[in-house]
Amino acid sequence: MLSAKNITYSVAGKILLQDVSVDFEPGKFNLIIGPNGAGKSTLVKVLCKQLPVSGNGGVYYGEKNINSMSIGELARVRSVLSQNIELAFPLTVTEVVMMGRYPHFTGKPTQKDSVACEEAMRFFDVYTLSERNYMTLSGGEKQRVHFARVLSQIWFPVPDAFRYLILDEPLTFLDVYYQFDFMHKVTALLKNKDMVVIGVVHDLNLAARFADKVALLHRGKVMAVGDKHSVLTKENIMAAYHLEPVIHYKNEEMYLFF
Amino acid sequence: MLGQGNKNILVFPTLVGALVVALLLSMCFGAVNISLDEIVSAFGKVYSNAGELTLNERIFMGIRLPRAILCLFVGASLAVGGVLLQALFRNPIVEPGLVGTSSGAAFGAALYFVLGAVFKVNAGEWTLPIAACAGGILSTALVFTLSQSGQSGRSSIVGLLLTGIAINALFMSGVGFLSYIARDPQARSITFWNLGTLSGASWHAVIITGTSTVLCIAVAMRYTKHLNALMIGEEEAQHLGINIRMLKLTVLAVNVVMIAVATAFVGVISFVGLIVPHLLRIINGSDNRFLVRNGALAGAILLSIADLAARMILRPAELPIGIVTSIIGVPVFIILLRRKNYFF
């Protein structure tokens, strides 16, 4: 389990997160939603140790306080997909995916690292691209290469610990088919009960379709947290987004129209 | 690494072979040609401490050999410096002088040429190298310090790049000012030094430059994986467990020592640090583990050939080596960049 406890973060007097507490549970698809400027990215940065935890707040990876973990230690159990990755120099797809294994080896990659890369590439259907120059790929292909990279980073289970996958707006460059394909694949990964998945998404319908647990952020605070039926209500969405949704049910699935 | 393996296997031995050839050529040819027999006999006499050296053998041991070896170390330093800084700045147009090292060294040298006699500062043959090295280290430290004091107290890599450009401009205008107030022979010395020359090579220079080159490259080899990770971004590299601040400090320190020491003995040699990393990327991809190792070899080869050309073209006079590196380097570089499969 990954827990944020009483996180407050402010910059130059402006409060970006105020007393945010959320538990992200293993085996569940945890999604963070909220309007622009709600503090989603800031929360992700705090969870990833890119911003410090201040005051009496804390971030806990399982039992461990994030402050007691080095970034190297963190990188062996937790991988992060960030938005808008641009490469500075030409690399092959395999070389990019192998970066996911960097926290695990010094010097040369081992057989185990190559296996993780290959299987992660197959999982996200980019193995056929493995010798291609990354810079010649389409936006969607690039995005899938990075899926493979972050998955290879935590491909093997860690003894007595959870693995954490943090996805910051992973669907930006994907068409509808690959958006659903990606969400289905992540759902399949959750069969591994040691996997904690946290995603930031903008599309409320994807949240309604796939989330097992939703945290709705608004103005730096947790407005609602829980299963999708309790969070994605007309009242909550109106308060956060100032738009009135029509919520439609069909075959137990929830659809939102604006 | 998967895939590229076969190509990599060939590149390294090819470079080693080319290095041996380049070294032999630069030992044999120059103002005076020296035969392989004379080289072997010179080594034999020095090793067994027997017999008077002939004139050619003395030229070889005292002038040609230290020059050929210094050339290797300086070339390796410049090329590896280029690899490191391009990787650190995630920017293909960067060369090792970008963080102010060579312009600072040029300013230190110009100060010595113009004001050295006035202030009677003199440390013998060491005065110029010390002045240049101090200038290079000082200006790089200045760039790093100034780039630290952003609003958030963190130095971004873009901030470092921009500060470097500004400080370079400042020191180059300082060099310009000193040339302007200098008397003619002093101004000529400044110009000549700014174009680089290996004619002052000595065994002292070889030992000092060799030590700094070998140590710095050894440290750089340990950080190639970190620099690779930096290619996908600073934040992403942190997610892969890399301490960016430490990486930045280490790479800059390695670069400044290597470049300041090399520049101190031979002056400013342009283009090697820019072109070698690109040549190797075209041949072998952007993995910094290969770029550092092969860059050291390729830089040494390129500078040896350039120095040979500098000695041969106007024989027995010499061209400044910086002119040769640009004349050979620019067209080769442009042709390679225009190849279809080199993407940015």
- Percentage of residues in chain B having pLDDT higher than 90: 35
| Domain total of chain A | 1
Position B166 pLDDT exceeds 50: yes
Report pLDDT for B122: 67
User: B114 in a domain, yes or no?
Assistant: yes
Residues of B in contact with A75 (CB under 8 A): 239-241
User: B127 in a domain, yes or no?
Assistant: yes
In the β-sheet with A213-218, what is the strand arrangement from edge to edge? A78-81, A163-168, A195-200, A29-33, A213-218, A221-226
User: B342 in a domain, yes or no?
Assistant: no
Report pLDDT for B4: 46
User: B59 in a domain, yes or no?
Assistant: yes
Give the one of B91, B233, B343 whose C-beta lies nearest to A90's C-beta: B343
Structure tokens at B256: 């400044």
Q: What is the tens place of the pLDDT at every residue in B106-125?
A: 899 888 888 876 776 666 77
CB A89 to CB B286 under 8 A? yes
Position B3 pLDDT exceeds 50: no
ipTM of the shown complex:
0.90
Residues of B in contact with A91 (CB under 8 A): 231, 285-287
* Selection from B142, B100, B107 nearest residue B128 by Cα: B107
Residues of B in contact with A71 (CB under 8 A): 238, 241-243
Please, which pLDDT band fits residue B342 given cuts at 50, 70 and 90?
Answer: low
Report pLDDT for B96: 81
User: B344 in a domain, yes or no?
Assistant: no
- Element at B80 (helix H, strand E): helix B65-89
CATH assignment of the domain containing B82: 1.10.3470.10
Structural domain range at position A62: 2-257
Asked if B91 is an interface residue toward chain A (Cβ–Cβ < 8 A), one would say yes
Sole residue written with tokens 């947290």: A225
**What's the whole-number average pLDDT of chain B?**
86
Q: Which residue of B has its CA nearest to A47?
A: B239
Please, which pLDDT band fits residue B2 given cuts at 50, 70 and 90?
Answer: very low
| Domain total of chain B | 1
User: B216 in a domain, yes or no?
Assistant: yes
CATH assignment of the domain containing A45: 3.40.50.300
Please, which pLDDT band fits residue B154 given cuts at 50, 70 and 90?
Answer: low
Asked if B343 is an interface residue toward chain A (Cβ–Cβ < 8 A), one would say yes
User: B88 in a domain, yes or no?
Assistant: yes
Position B203 pLDDT exceeds 80: yes
User: B343 in a domain, yes or no?
Assistant: no
Number of Cβ atoms within 10 Å of the Cβ of A246: 9
Position B19 pLDDT exceeds 70: yes
Residues of A in contact with B286 (CB under 8 A): 89-91, 95
Categorise residue B251: left if φ over 0, alpha if ψ from -120 to 50, beta otherwise: alpha
List A256's β-bridge partners, or say none.
Answer: A247
Position B150 pLDDT exceeds 70: no
Structural domain range at position B160: 5-337
Give the one of B90, B239, B281 whose C-beta lies nearest to A90's C-beta: B281
Kindly list the averaged pLDDT for each block of 10 residues, start to end, along chain A of length 258. 91 89 93 93 92 88 91 93 83 94 90 95 94 90 94 92 92 88 93 92 91 94 92 91 88 85
Q: What is the tens place of the pLDDT at every residue in B26-55?
A: 999 888 888 888 888 888 888 887 778 888
Contact residues, B window 253-292, toward A, CB-based 8 Å cutoff:
281, 285-287
